């Protein structure tokens, strides 16, 4: 036994405890895809999925992936530098057009796309300004940049969603360039980025803005072009980073920007250049979801918002605290780790999968259940979820009105 065994054993104390109590909620092995699945024969409806438009399991998407397997197999055995296909290039052109940017680059994950963007654009002439609730991919890209010999940018945080706090950071920065990193929707709280004010501050201080719109692409704006369309800000953020792992039915990252900026990342980013290409069946699936958005985007997005509104109104009327949420991502605040784990377990037994978010995902005392409403949920499923949540929420005393 070496010290790594001792260390791992000690660090896993919380996991062991939850398993022993029979309430460990993570890494459940699903027996099929889609919003309705099972574990060990126990069926449930998934309310923690990011398949916001419910298109991941659409027959058209699956057929496109099947056809691509026949032509390209499941991998190209190399990085994009020497393993790019016409499918990648065509989809990049279509994504750029749909989202209104000069150029798009497809990467293998959204996480990788953000790390690539930050690592390429930030150097010792740069101050990186981060919202203090930034996603791990933004933090990790930043920490890698900060640890790169001879390139380390200045690193500063501003208060969540506060343009005023951002302005203080930009005014007092030590480096000549500034790169500001924000999100379209903050996924643990479900609140939209305050981008109108943030864009103005960036413009006033000559800062470049990168928007991670992983949860807003395909869900916000009339056509689903994301948070910039939703807030009337298209053309005012030079870079958007997004993902195929939510609305686009698979996995993969998207970087959108001006041609030179995107090609600079394409030729420089180590996380992109030294990692394998996105498999073509996944490209084909994403291309099919894009076609559906091009053909029918407004109707798909409107249906998602109708269902989200119905759920929000009912959850709020029944006394649940949804925190700062103003989107289809509606955390049900529990504010107690044990309660969140037990509630998750009881909901799961009743056929509802609502994953608990605990420390370090959120601060201690801010524990919650992840409740994502998607277009794919039926009204009956939403009503069932409301009924069971109300019953169990009353029992656990997490509703603030009787
Ligand atoms: C805000 C945000 N950015 C980036 C990512 C990473 O995307 P991907 O799953 O494609 O790596 C996620 C997904 O968890 C996310 O929530």
Q: Which residues contact 276 (CB under 8 A, 6 or more apart)?
A: 75, 76, 77, 78, 79, 83, 108
Beta-carbon count within 10 A of 267 CB? 11
Residues 6+ apart with CB under 8 A from 394: 402
pLDDT tens for 175-224 read: 999 999 999 999 999 999 999 999 999 999 999 999 999 999 999 999 99
Task: Give yes or no: residues 325 and 287 share one domain.
Answer: no
Question: Which ligand 1 atom is nearest residue 110's CA?
Answer: 10
What does the pLDDT read at residue 402? Answer: 46
> Which residue out of 137, 218, 275 has the highest number of ligand 1 atoms within 8 Å of its CB and is therefore the one to mutate?
137
Tally the domains of the chain. Answer: 2
User: Is residue 212 domain-shared with residue 122, that is, in the same domain?
Assistant: yes
> Using 50, 70 and 90 to split pLDDT, how confident is the model at 401?
low
Residue list, ligand 1 pocket, CB within 6 Å:
109-111, 114, 135, 137, 183, 187, 212, 214-215, 243, 245, 251, 253
| 375 lies in the same domain as 234 | no
Mean pLDDT of 48-63: 98
Q: Token pair for residue 114?
A: 């953000």
| Distance of CA 344 from the midpoint of ligand 1 (Å) | 23
Same structural domain, 140 and 217 = yes
* Domain carrying residue 29: 19-56+296-395
Whether this prediction's pTM lies above 0.85 is answered by yes
User: Per residue in 276-307, pLDDT tens?
Assistant: 999 999 999 999 999 999 999 999 999 999 99
Domain end call among 237, 261, 292: 292
Tell me, yes or no, whether 75 and 202 share the same domain: yes
């Amino acid at each position: 036994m070496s010290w790594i065994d001792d260390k791992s054993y000690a660090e896993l104390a919380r996991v062991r405890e939850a398993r022993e109590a029979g309430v460990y909620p993570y890494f459940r092995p699903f027996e099929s895809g889609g919003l309705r699945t099972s574990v060990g024969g126990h069926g449930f409806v998934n309310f923690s999925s990011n398949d916001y438009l419910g298109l991941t399991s659409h027959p058209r998407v699956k057929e496109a992936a099947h056809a691509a397997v026949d032509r390209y197999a499941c991998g190209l055995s190399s990085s994009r530098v020497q393993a790019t296909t016409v499918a990648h290039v065509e989809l990049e052109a279509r994504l750029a057009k749909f989202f209104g940017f000069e150029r798009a680059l497809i990467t293998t994950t959204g996480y990788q796309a953000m790390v690539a963007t930050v690592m390429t654009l930030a150097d010792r002439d740069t101050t990186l300004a981060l919202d203090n609730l930034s996603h791990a991919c933004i933090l990790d890209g930043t920490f890698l940049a900060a640890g790169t010999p001879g390139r380390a940018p200045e690193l500063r945080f501003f208060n969540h969603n506060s343009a005023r706090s951002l302005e203080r950071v930009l005014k007092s920065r030590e480096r000549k360039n500034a790169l500001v990193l924000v999100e379209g929707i903050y996924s643990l709280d479900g609140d939209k980025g305050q981008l109108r004010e943030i864009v103005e501050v960036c413009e006033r201080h000559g800062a470049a803005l990168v928007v991670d719109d992983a949860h807003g692409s395909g869900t916000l704006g009339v056509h689903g072009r994301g948070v910039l369309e939703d807030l009337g800000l298209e053309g005012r953020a030079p870079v958007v980073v997004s993902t195929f792992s939510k609305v686009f039915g698979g996995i993969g990252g998207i970087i959108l920007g001006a041609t030179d900026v995107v090609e600079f990342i394409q030729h420089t980013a180590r996380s992109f250049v030294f990692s394998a290409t996105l498999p073509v069946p996944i490209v084909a699936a994403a291309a099919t979801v894009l076609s559906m958005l091009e053909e029918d985007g407004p109707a798909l997005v409107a249906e998602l918002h109708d269902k989200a509104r119905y759920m929000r109104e009912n959850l709020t009327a029944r006394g649940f605290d949804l925190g700062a949420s103003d989107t289809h991502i509606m955390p049900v605040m529990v504010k107690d780790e044990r309660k969140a784990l037990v509630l998750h377990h009881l909901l799961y037994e009743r056929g509802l999968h609502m994953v608990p978010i605990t420390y370090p995902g959120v601060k201690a005392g801010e524990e919650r259940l992840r409740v994502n409403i998607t277009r794919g949920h039926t009204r009956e499923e939403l009503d069932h979820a409301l009924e069971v949540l109300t019953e169990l929420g009353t029992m656990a005393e997490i509703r603030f009105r009787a």
